[in-house]
Amino acid sequence: MEKINPLATSLAGLSLSSPLVTASGTCGYARELSQFFDLGMLGAIVVKGITLAPRTGNPGTRLIETPAGLINSIGLENPGVEKFISGEMPFLRQQHAPVIVNISGNTEEEYAALAARLDKVAGVSALEVNISCPNVKTGGMAFGACTIAASRVTTLVRQHSQLPLIVKLSPNVTDIAAIARAVEDAGADAISLINTLLGMAIDIETRRPILRGTFGGLSGPAIKPVALRMVYQVFRAVKIPVIGMGGISTWQDAAEFILAGATAVGIGTASMVNPLAIPTIHQGLQAYATRQGVRNIAELRGMAHQ
């Protein structure tokens, strides 16, 4: 008899063996994680943000630990799309998990060019359009903080790619539901949220902000209640599926996001603390589904709204 997988789910036309995906930027191109567990266990591998040209990232301190999280100011360091395709895709294609490529640009045109370039690359299953990076001078969060800009980028990327489009939203806005509706109307197939919350740290001896750009993006357990609230709001606001993320560290956290309405959940900072966080959450979620008496975890999606 065929074994039923209680965690199997589908999202924007992709079949995922699990709702657990990597959160972009927290595991590079997944080579390091592959030393710890079979990446085939993942619902999808979401890679570090790619730009058209290579980027060296931000100077100075880039990571600051806080009592319940991490502030980053990486500045989208990446090898650029061509080197990503030639250097990283051969490894990623060998993994038994869909590959979702996170893309960023300084301008709308750069997003469009990236989408067009990645459209027919073997092994790329979907695009995650990053309109929420808080650590760059142009582009990034500037697109995600305004319904018109968010809509324009999504429309343009949609015109240049046949791939499923997931748009990654910033929590640094007053009305997340309005941004979510704008990208849905513009052709997004799914929404991922949240990216990091703006934060900062000050060196009390030098009396100066530690990060050269003053502010960075806070992730980790500290932001989980905010992320959960926004996933709950966005689930109510749109019809397309939601990938929830932000401080998920345990299977209980993942279960909360699914109950709030997430079809899949991203694990990020937790993997930096414990590279086996994903397999541990996977196991806990499987047992939880059984205890809840459901054949598939998807039956629990959005139940907190009832």
27 is catalytic: no
Nearest CB to ligand SIN, comparing residues 267 and 297 = 267
Considering only residues 233 through 292, tell me which ones interact with ligand SIN, judged by CB under 6 A. Answer: none
Stretch that binds ligand SIN, among 68-76, 179-187, 287-295, 298-306 (CB under 6 A): 68-76
- Which residues have CB under 8 Å from 16's CB, separation 6+? 8, 9, 10, 43, 44, 98, 264
Catalytic residue among 47, 99, 115, 133: 133
Stretch that binds ligand SIN, among 4-12, 74-82, 234-242, 257-265 (CB under 6 A): 74-82
Cα gap 132→256, rounded to integer Å? 23
Nearest CB to ligand SIN, comparing residues 23 and 297 = 23
Stretch that binds ligand SIN, among 128-136, 174-182, 253-261, 290-298 (CB under 6 A): 128-136
Site string for ligand SIN, 107-126 (x = CB under 6 A): --------------------
Kindly state whether residue 192 participates in binding ligand SIN, applying the rule CB under 6 A: no
Nearest CB to ligand SIN, comparing residues 133 and 262 = 133
- Cβ atoms 180, 232 nearer than 8 A: no
Alpha helix (H) residue ranges in 32-145: 81-83, 89-93, 108-118, 141-144
Chain centroid, CA 293 distance in Å: 29
Tell the residue number behind the tokens 């806080």, with chain if given: 66
Nearest CB to ligand SIN, comparing residues 99 and 245 = 245
CB environment 134-161: b (16+ within 10 A), e (fewer): bbbeebbbbbbbbbebbbbbbbbbbebb
- Considering only 51, 147, 196, 271, the residue that binds ligand SIN (CB under 6 A) is 196
CB of 252 to ligand SIN, least distance (A): 25
- Cβ atoms 156, 112 nearer than 8 A: yes
- Considering only 130, 147, 161, 249, the residue that binds ligand SIN (CB under 6 A) is 130
> For residue 127, which of 224, 192, 54 has the smallest C-alpha distance?
192
CB of 232 to ligand SIN, least distance (A): 22
**Token pair listed for 92:** 């990623």
Kindly state whether residue 220 participates in binding ligand SIN, applying the rule CB under 6 A: no
Helix (H/G/I), strand (E/B), else coil: 103: strand
Cα gap 268→27, rounded to integer Å? 8
CB of 25 to ligand SIN, least distance (A): 5
CB of 102 to ligand SIN, least distance (A): 7
Q: Which amino acid is at 199?
A: G
Nearest CB to ligand SIN, comparing residues 169 and 259 = 169
Site string for ligand SIN, 14-43 (x = CB under 6 A): -----------x------------------
- Cβ atoms 54, 85 nearer than 8 A: no
- Cβ atoms 221, 271 nearer than 8 A: no
Kindly state whether residue 75 participates in binding ligand SIN, applying the rule CB under 6 A: yes
Kindly state whether residue 74 participates in binding ligand SIN, applying the rule CB under 6 A: yes
Cα gap 78→55, rounded to integer Å? 5
> C-alpha dihedral over 288, 289, 292, 295, to 10 degrees?
-170
Which residues contact ligand SIN (rule: CB under 6 A)? 25, 49, 72-76, 130, 132-135, 195-196, 217
Question: Would you name the residues annotated as active-site residues?
Answer: 133
